[in-house]
């Protein structure tokens, strides 16, 4: 079944839509920010899924003696992974996951945290200035003044 094969990507799409829907439908500013955060998180999962190879291990130079152990670790539990590591063994190489998307997402997580804290800080100030964090009330007060 195609959906199971792309399980990660289904999750990505669901999270993306949930986040975006929360962002546009909610009136409460904090809930909006939570929606935005879910939306951004979906992108993180998207990148990480793209970089992951089933059965692939962390991209660390593995010596001969730890070779087997690492493969055991990587292939534990998953039938597909077993096949992959067997295939890898037959070639005499270890399968690595692509580290680059993971590294990029470290940056994206930092950016997400920064955006979130910025937004929450502004919300605190909005609450001080307007006495509310409901979007419609703020719009109304803006229009009146």
Partner 1 sequence: MGMHLPALQVVIPLMAAGFALLAWRPRLSWTVAMAASIASFLISAQLLRQVLADGPISYNLGGWEPPWGIEYRIDALNAFVLFLVSLIAVVVTPFALRSVEQEIAAPRIPFFYAAWLLALAGLLGIAITGDLFNVFVFLEISSLAAYALISMGSDRRALSAAFRYLIVGSVGATFIVIGIGYLYVMTGTLNMADLAGRLPDVADQRPVIVGFAFLAVGICLKLALFPLHLWLPNAYTYAPSAATPFIAATYTKVAVYMLLRVFFTVFGESFSFDLMRLDAVILPLALIGIVSMSLVAIFQPDLKRMLAYSSVAQIGYMILGISFGSVTGLTAATLHMFNHAIMKGALFMAVGCMVYRLESSRIEDLAGVGRRMPLTMGAFLIGGLSIIGVPLTAGFISKWYLVLGAIERGWWPVAAVVLFGSLLAVIYIWRIVEVAYFRAPADGTATERVEAPLLLLVPTWILALANLYFGIDASLTTSAASAAASAVLGGGP
> Up-side HSE of residue 96: CA atoms within 13 Å toward CB?
11
Q: Do residues 42 and 8 make contact, with C-beta atoms less than 8 angstroms apart?
A: no
**CB 89 to partner 1: min, Å:** 25
Q: Tell me the per-residue interface mask from 57 to 96 with partner 1, x by CB under 8 A, - otherwise.
A: ----------------------------------------
Q: Do residues 78 and 54 make contact, with C-beta atoms less than 8 angstroms apart?
A: yes
Q: Is 43 in the site for partner 1 (CB under 8 A)?
A: yes
SS3 131: coil
Q: Rg of the chain's alpha carbons, rounded to an integer?
A: 22
Q: Of 15, 22, 36, 81, which one interacts with partner 1 (CB under 8 A)?
A: 36
CA angle 114, 119, 122 (to 5 degrees): 125
- Looking at beta carbons only, is 36 or 71 nearer to partner 1? 36
Residues that bind partner 1 (CB under 8 A): 20, 23, 29, 32, 36, 39-40, 43, 46-47, 50, 101, 104, 107-108, 111, 114-115, 118-119, 122-123, 125-126, 129-130, 138-139, 142, 145
């Amino acid at each position: 079944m195609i959906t199971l094969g792309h399980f990660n990507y289904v999750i990505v799409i669901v999270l993306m839509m949930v986040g975006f829907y929360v962002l546009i439908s909610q009136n409460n500013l904090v809930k909006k920010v939570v929606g935005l955060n879910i939306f951004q998180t979906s992108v993180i999962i998207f990148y990480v899924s793209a970089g992951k190879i089933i059965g692939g291990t962390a991209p660390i130079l593995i010596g001969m003696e730890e070779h087997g152990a690492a493969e055991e670790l990587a292939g534990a539990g998953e039938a597909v992974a077993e096949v992959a590591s067997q295939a890898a063994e037959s070639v005499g190489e270890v399968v690595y996951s692509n580290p680059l998307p993971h590294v990029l997402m470290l940056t994206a997580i930092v950016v997400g945290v920064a955006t979130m804290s910025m937004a929450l800080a502004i919300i605190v100030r909005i609450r001080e200035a307007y006495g509310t964090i409901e979007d419609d009330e703020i719009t109304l007060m803006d229009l009146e003044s």
